[in-house]
Chain A
Amino acid sequence: MIPIEYWLILSSLLFAIGAYGVMTRRNAIVVLMCIEIMLNAANINLVAFSSYHTVLHGTADASGQAFALFSIAIAAAEVAVGLATILSVYRRYQTIDVDKINILRW
Chain B
Amino acid sequence: MLEYAWLIPVFPFVAFLLIAMLPKKTLFWEDGAVYGIAGAFGALALSVLVIWQVLMGETLTVDAPRTTWIIVGDFQIEFGIWIDQLTAVMLLVVSVVGTLVVIYSGGYMHEEGEGRRRYYAEIMLFISVMYGLVISDNYLQMFIFWELVGLCSYLLIGFWYTKPSAASAAKRAFIVTRVGDIMFMAGIIILFKYVGNLDFAQLFSESTSHQVPSDMMTLATALIFGGAIGKSAQFPLHEWLPDAMEGPTTVSALIHAATMVKAGVYLTARSYPLLVQAPDSLLLVAVIGGVTALIAATVALAANDIKRVLAYSTISQLGYMILGLGAGGYLVIHANDPGGYAAATFHLMNHAFFKALLFLCAGSVIHAVGTNDMRLMGGLGRKMRITSTTMLVGAIAIAGIPPFSGFWSKDEVLAAVYHAGEFDPVFFLLWAMGIATAFMTAFYMFRMWFMTFAGEPRSDYHAHESPKIMTVPLMILAGLAMVSGFALFIGEGFKGFMERSVEELVPGAARETLGDVAVGIFTDPLTYVSLVLAVVGILLAYRMYYVPGFDRSVFAKGFSGKLQRALENRWYISKFYDDFAIRIVYALSLVADLFDRYVIDGLVNGFAYLGGRGGNVLRRAQDGNVQRYTSLIIVGICLLLILVLYVLPWGGW
- Residues in A lying within 8 Å of B, measured CB to CB: 19, 22-24, 31, 98-99, 101-106
A104 partner residues in chain B, CB cutoff 8 A: 624
- Contacts A19-B634, A23-B634 known; A105 to B627 CB distance under 8 Å? no
User: 9 pairs across A/B with beta carbons < 8 Å?
Assistant: A19-B630, A22-B627, A24-B627, A31-B627, A98-B626, A99-B625, A102-B625, A106-B619, A106-B620
8 Å CB contact of A23 from B622, B623, B624, B630: B630
Q: Which residues of chain B come closer than 8 Å to A23, judged between CB atoms?
A: 627, 630-631, 634
When chains A and B are docked, how far (Å) is the Cα of A99 from the Cα of B629? 12
Residues of B within 8 A of A99 (CB): 625, 627
Closest to A105 in B: B624
Residues on A with C-beta less than 8 A from B624 are 101-106
Q: Which residues of B contact A22 (CB under 8 A)?
A: 627, 630
- Docked-complex contact A105 and B623, CB < 8 angstroms: yes
For A101, what are the chain B residues with a Cβ–Cβ distance below 8 Å?
Answer: 624, 626
Minimum CB distance partner of B634 in chain A: A19
Q: Is there contact, CB below 8 Å, between B623 and A98?
A: no
Closest 3 CB pairs of A and B: A105-B624, A102-B624, A23-B631
Contact B634 A102 (CB under 8 A): no
B630 and A102 contact, CB distance less than 8 A: no
**Contact between chains at B622 and A105 (CB < 8 Å):** yes
Query: Which residues does chain B contribute within 8 Å of A98, judged by CB atoms?
Result: 625-627
Say how far B611's CB is from chain A's closest CB, in angstroms.
16
Chain A residues within an 8 Å CB radius of B626: 98, 101-102
Q: Can you name 13 extra interface pairs (CB under 8 A) apart from A23-B634, A102-B626?
A: A19-B630, A23-B627, A24-B627, A98-B626, A99-B625, A101-B624, A101-B626, A102-B623, A102-B624, A103-B624, A105-B622, A105-B624, A106-B624
Helix, strand, loop or mixed for chain A's interface?
Answer: loop
Which of chain A's residues have a CB closer than 8 A to the CB of B623?
Answer: 102, 105-106
Query: Which of B619, B627, B634 is the most central at the interface, judged by chain A CB atoms within 10 Å of its CB?
Result: B627
Question: CA A80 – CA B627 in complex, angstroms?
Answer: 21
What are the residues of chain B within 8 A of A24 when measuring CB–CB?
627
> B616's closest neighbor in chain A, by CB?
A106
Interface size on B, residues (CB 8 A): 11
- Bound CA span A101–B627, Å: 11
Shortest C-beta distance, B52 to chain A (Å), equals 83
Q: Which residue of A lies closest to B635 (CB)?
A: A23
Residues from chain A with Cβ under 8 Å of B619 in the complex: 106
Q: How close is B638's CB to chain A, nearest CB, in angstroms?
A: 10
Per the bound structure, the CA–CA distance linking A56 and B278 in Å amounts to 83
CA–CA, A44 to B509, complex, Å? Answer: 100
- Quote the shortest CB–CB distance from B120 to chain A (angstroms): 64
Which residues of A sit under 8 angstroms from B630, Cβ to Cβ?
Answer: 19, 22-23
Quote the shortest CB–CB distance from A98 to chain B (angstroms). Answer: 6
Q: Per-residue 0/1 for B624-649: is the Cβ within 8 Å of any A Cβ (1 yes, 0 no)?
A: 11110011001000000000000000
Most chain B beta-carbon neighbours within 10 Å: one of A19, A23, A102, A104: A23
| A31 CA / B622 CA spacing, docked (Å) | 20
Report Cα–Cα, A8/B622, bound state, in Å. Answer: 35
Complex CA–CA separation, A98 to B629 (angstroms): 12
CB pair A106 B634 closer than 8 Å: no
Question: Cα distance A56–B322 when bound, in Å?
Answer: 92
Contacts of A103 in B (CB 8 A): 624
**B625 contacts which chain A residues (CB < 8 A)?**
98-99, 102, 105
Bound: A101/B625 CA distance, A: 7
A69, B24: Cα distance in complex, Å: 75
CA of A22 to CA of B631, assembled, Å: 9
A40 to B386 CA separation, bound complex (whole angstroms): 107
Nearest neighbor of A16 in chain B, beta-carbon distance: B634
Smallest CB gap from A104: residue in B: B624
Whole-angstrom CA separation of A31 from B627 in the bound complex: 9
B311 to chain A minimum Cβ distance, whole angstroms, is 70
How far apart are the CA atoms of A45 and B486 in the complex, in Å?
104
Q: State the Cβ distance, B618 to closest chain A Cβ, in Å.
A: 10
Q: Is A106 in contact with B622, judged by CB distance below 8 angstroms? A: yes
| Cα(A104)–Cα(B625), bound, Å | 8
Which residues on B sit within 8 Å (CB–CB) of A106? 619-620, 622-624
**Per-residue interface assignment for chain B, residues 212 to 255, with 1 indicating a CB less than 8 Å from any chain A CB and 0 otherwise:** 00000000000000000000000000000000000000000000
Q: Which residues of B contact A31 (CB under 8 A)?
A: 627
The B299-326 residues at the A interface (CB cut-off 8 A) are none
| B622 cross-chain contacts in A, Cβ below 8 A | 105-106
| Assembled-state Cα–Cα distance A22/B625 (Å) | 12
Give Cα A24–Cα B627 distance, bound, in whole angstroms. 7
Task: Looking at the assembled complex, report how far the CB atom of B629 sits from the nearest CB atom of chain A, in whole angstroms.
Answer: 10
Q: What residues of B have a CB within 8 angstroms of the CB of A105 in the complex?
A: 622-625
Bound CA–CA A73/B619 (angstroms): 37
Kindly report which residue of chain B lies nearest to residue A103, judged by CB atoms.
B624
In the complex, residue of chain A having the shortest beta-carbon distance to the beta carbon of B620: A106
Q: Bound complex: CA of A101 vs CA of B624, how far in Å?
A: 8
User: In the bound complex, how far is the Cα of B631 from the Cα of A14, in angstroms?
Assistant: 17
- Give Cα A67–Cα B634 distance, bound, in whole angstroms: 24
A19 to B636, CA, bound (A): 14
**Cα of A105 to Cα of B634 in the assembled complex, Å:** 20
Q: How far, in whole Å, are A24 and B630 apart by their CA atoms in the complex?
A: 10
In chain B between 600 and 631, which residues have their CB closer than 8 angstroms to a CB of chain A?
619-620, 622-627, 630-631
- State how many angstroms separate the Cβ of A30 from the closest Cβ of chain B: 11
Min Cβ gap B370→A in Å is 73
Report how far A99 CA is from B240 CA in the complex, Å.
78
CA distance A31 to B620 in the complex (A): 24
With the chains together, A71 CA to B622 CA distance in Å? 31
B567 to chain A, nearest CB (A): 77
A98 to B624, CA, bound (A): 10
Most chain A beta carbons < 10 A, residue from B620, B625, B631? B625
**With a CB–CB cut-off of 8 A, which chain A residues contact B634?**
19, 23
What is the CA–CA distance of A70 and B419 in the complex, to the nearest angstrom?
A: 99
CB distance from B152 to the nearest CB of A (A): 59
Complex Cα spacing A52 to B624, Å: 43
B620 to chain A, nearest CB (A): 8
Q: How far is the CB of A5 from chain B (nearest CB, A)?
A: 18
- Nearest Cβ in chain B — how far from A85, in angstroms? 12
**Considering only CB atoms, which chain B residue lies closest to A22 in the complex?**
B630
B84 → A minimal CB distance (Å): 77
CB distance from A93 to the nearest CB of B (A): 13
How far, in Å, is A100 (CB) from chain B's closest CB?
10
- The complex places the Cα of A22 from the Cα of B622 at a distance, in Å, of 18
A99 to B627, CA, bound (A): 8
Taking the closest CB of chain A, its distance from the CB of B639, in whole angstroms, is: 15
Q: What separation, in Å, do the CA atoms of A70 and B625 have in the docked complex?
A: 31
| A19 and B637 alpha carbons, distance in the complex (Å) | 12
